[in-house]
Chains A and B, each alone.
Chain A
Amino acid sequence: MALFKNQLKLMRAAAISVSVLVALVTGMMIYSASSNLIPASSFFSSYALILPILVGVIATLMCGDMGTRDFYYPAGLIVLAQPVKRWVAFMARFSASAILAIVPLTILFVSAAVGSNYFYGATMPGMLASFAVAVLYMLSFIAFIAFISIVAGEGAALTTGILISVMAVLFLLVLEHFYGIEPWFFLPYAGMSIGAVTSTPYPTHFVPNGIFPYTPYLSEAIEIMVGYTALSLASAIWFYSRREVL
């Protein structure tokens, strides 16, 4: 519990700056949408497209230092010598980070709702479902980044996280379009369902000649995200528990 609060405190500044960043990005998107008079439907879809990228970037910025927090700062010499089980310490930090990361995500969705209501008089359809999927996606991304950070350090975590989220579209294009494989093993593939749930009906799983032939079934996306979360957390805890403070 003490560690949970400590993590909240340590990350307060990061949470605020990421939130401001997110607010700026959304503000700009809504502004450009309104001034170019993009039709509502394409505003929604462009929003849904950019969401997984933003979620990935937020998660990376918030959790990239998970592994360095205790093992590289000299504070770890004291903090890790306290009578607290390592997995408890890790979960305290992880859950505090996750909760803080949901703040900018909420800002993102609320401003999308307000913005679209204001300009188009309608809210993005399936918005709540989309938010729920986005939260789960955020959770799995954070778990994955925390794992990388603990195993390979902050630099590797930041690089991996930003690369995966920013280049996701490219990776998906290559895997799906050119190799014709369903990339169920690639976390951002599940992220596609954040946008997919906003379209009715839910997109067809496989469209032979599409640019992105595959869209994950919602259940499949949830399985991927839950799988990533479980595996990443289990491995992160394994490494966090065995790691020595050299």
Chain B
Amino acid sequence: MDIEAINLTKRFGNRVALDNVSFRFSGPGAIGYLGPNGAGKTTTLKIFSHLLRPTYGKALINGIDVADGYAKALESVSALVETPEPYPKLSIKDFLTLIGGMRGLSREETTSRIAELKEKLSLEDLAVQGAKLSKGHKQRVALAATLMSDTDIMLLDEPTAGLDPAETYDVKKIIKELKRTRLVLMSSHLLDEVTELCDSVAFINKGRLLLTDTVKNVTNKFGKGKAGSAGLEDAYLKIIKGG
């Protein structure tokens, strides 16, 4: 299980969102993708989930170029990018069933997986239509859709943004469980969350990848010896602000 970016570049008109980004991560484990707003995190994850096409360069998933064989490549990827929502007129159950079907699950597998996720993510009433859900609830349904199948690679874009503390706790618990057996690449700008969940970090700013290393090495090197998220905070400020 690995994902690799080779000279990945994405331009929107003449705005450069990603500038020659190269990395390679192998799992299992969790990687925190860190950077300020507008750094290019979402753009990277969208290219890996075939929602955007790169202007230049390659995005490889287990060696398969997403641009060439996305249907094959995406079989091993589940992505939660930006803030997706279920269809307004479709019940939660119907939406998750659709995703199960698109993932090639049997009807029984789909049903049991939905029951399991309902428990894990406190989804409450599955018959409610998408339009009637609260923001946090929509996000939990979107996460449930992402967890419908057991893929090797999980791409999570700020997975806890907009969630209340209890919801955040649930999601963190799920990520901790996932990263034991899978490769999780999660973008975030919550440093304590990254410290808690991730083994490695990648820093990106203005479309350029600045550094990738283990959390430990980064805090040792840039964190003035401070442990935990305080160390990572110092590191973040130094690396992003070019100190």
A binding-site residues for B, Cβ under 8 Å: 1-3, 5-6, 9-10, 13, 73-85, 242, 244-246
Contacts and interface: CB of A to CB of B under 8 A. Distances in A.
A137 B119 CA distance: 49
B101 A245 contact: no
B49 to A, nearest CB: 4
Contacts of B2: none
B46 A83 contact: no
Contacts of A78: 79-80, 84, 99, 142, 145-146
A85 B71 CA distance: 6
A242 B52 CA distance: 9
A84 B71 contact: yes
Those 10 A-B pairs whose CB atoms lie nearest each other, nearest first: A2-B101, A77-B84, A83-B74, A81-B49, A245-B51, A82-B102, A74-B85, A83-B75, A6-B98, A78-B84
Contacts of A83: 70-75, 77, 102-104
Nearest to A83: B74
Interface string B15-29: 000000000000000
A88 to B, nearest CB: 8
Interface centre among B74, B84, B89 (most CB of A within 10 A): B84
A77 B81 contact: yes
B71 A75 contact: no
B97 interface: yes
Q: Which of A73, A77, A83, A245 has the most CB of B within 10 A?
A: A83
Given A2-B97, A79-B102, A81-B74, 9 more contacts: A9-B94, A73-B85, A73-B87, A77-B82, A78-B80, A78-B84, A83-B72, A83-B103, A245-B52
A224 to B, nearest CB: 34
B176 interface: no
A1 B97 CA distance: 12
B101 A1 contact: yes
Contacts of A10: 87, 89-90
Residue from B73, B98, B142 whose CB has the most chain A CB atoms within 10 Å:
B98
B42 to A, nearest CB: 10
Contacts of B203: none
12 contacts: A2-B97, A5-B98, A13-B89, A73-B87, A77-B81, A78-B79, A78-B84, A78-B142, A79-B102, A80-B50, A80-B51, A84-B71
Contacts of A82: 74, 99, 102-103
B98 A2 contact: yes
A74 B79 CA distance: 14
A3 B97 CA distance: 10
A78 B155 CA distance: 12
Contacts of B81: 77, 81
Contacts of B73: 83
A6 B94 contact: yes
B159 interface: no
B207 interface: no
Interface string B141-180: 0100110000000000000000000000000000000000
A84 B89 contact: no
Given A77-B84, A78-B142, A244 B51 contact: yes
A75 B89 contact: no
Contacts of A244: 51-53
B100 interface: yes
Contact of B84 (A3, A9, A75): A75
B95 interface: yes
B191 to A, nearest CB: 26
Nearest to A244: B52
Contact of B98 (A76, A77, A79, A245): A79
